Amino acid sequence: MLIFLIGFMGSGKSTAGRLLAGSLSYDFTDLDKLVEEREGMAITEIFARKGEDYFRESEAAVLKSLLDDDRMVIACGGGTPCFHDNMNKMKNAGVTVYLRVPPDVLARRLSGEKGVRPLIAGMKGARLKDHIRRLLAGREGWYRQSDIIFDAAGSGTGELISLLKPYLEQEGR
Ligand code: S3P
């Protein structure tokens, strides 16, 4: 079974993913990290030097390389489901989980950020909040196709595991 964690920047995909993988004795993988390893550059550098389209292609290629793996929790990037038919590929390969966090909470979490995420670099306050709302509104159509929509701001890993149980049992593990 592959478990894909999907959601906006700052929704806690990597943190939740690590906890979840630990509890299930699954491996954990962070898609952004794998793209950085493949390209030998940080995400910001890939965006700056090669552009977003190039990043999306690399991201899709790395995702594709994971689809035959097993017993793995994969923390996706915030845009992963929205490009290159990635959402369908993930839905066919495993269970998709949308970590839903309200835009105000995302804005609070992302406001202290120091240029790690190129899509919100240099933004803060009302401008950041506005940008998050607009980007999220454009992405929710993809995020909401997930098998599980999880209230990530108000619940913990135990609750997520309960929601995943039927999928794990179906796989016989
Ligand atoms: C992106 C989110 C980032 C990273 C890249 C683009 C996005 O991942 O993939 O900066 O399009 O939302 P996180 O969601 O892990 O920050």
Ligand 1 in reach of 79 Cβ (< 6 A)? yes
Cβ–ligand 1 distance for 152 under 6 Å, the answer no
What pLDDT is attached to residue 172?
A: 55
Residue 173's pLDDT is 47
pLDDT at 55 (0 to 100): 98
Quick one: 2-168 is in which CATH superfamily?
Answer: P-loop containing nucleotide triphosphate hydrolases (3.40.50.300)
Q: What is the pTM of this model?
A: 0.96
Q: Is 87 in the pocket of ligand 1 (CB under 6 A)?
A: no
Query: What pLDDT shows up at residue 3?
Result: 98
Position 31 scores a pLDDT of 98
Cα 99 to middle of ligand 1, angstroms = 14
Q: What is the pLDDT along the chain (173 residues), one digit of tens a residue?
A: 999 999 999 999 999 999 999 999 999 999 999 999 999 999 999 999 999 999 999 999 999 999 999 999 999 999 999 999 999 999 999 999 999 999 999 999 999 877 789 999 888 889 999 999 999 999 999 999 999 999 999 888 999 999 999 998 887 54
Delimit the domains of the chain by residue range: 2-168
pLDDT of residue 113: 77
Q: Which ligand 1 atom minimizes the distance to the CA of 14?
A: 15
Q: Other CB atoms closer than 10 Å to residue 170's CB: what's the count?
A: 10
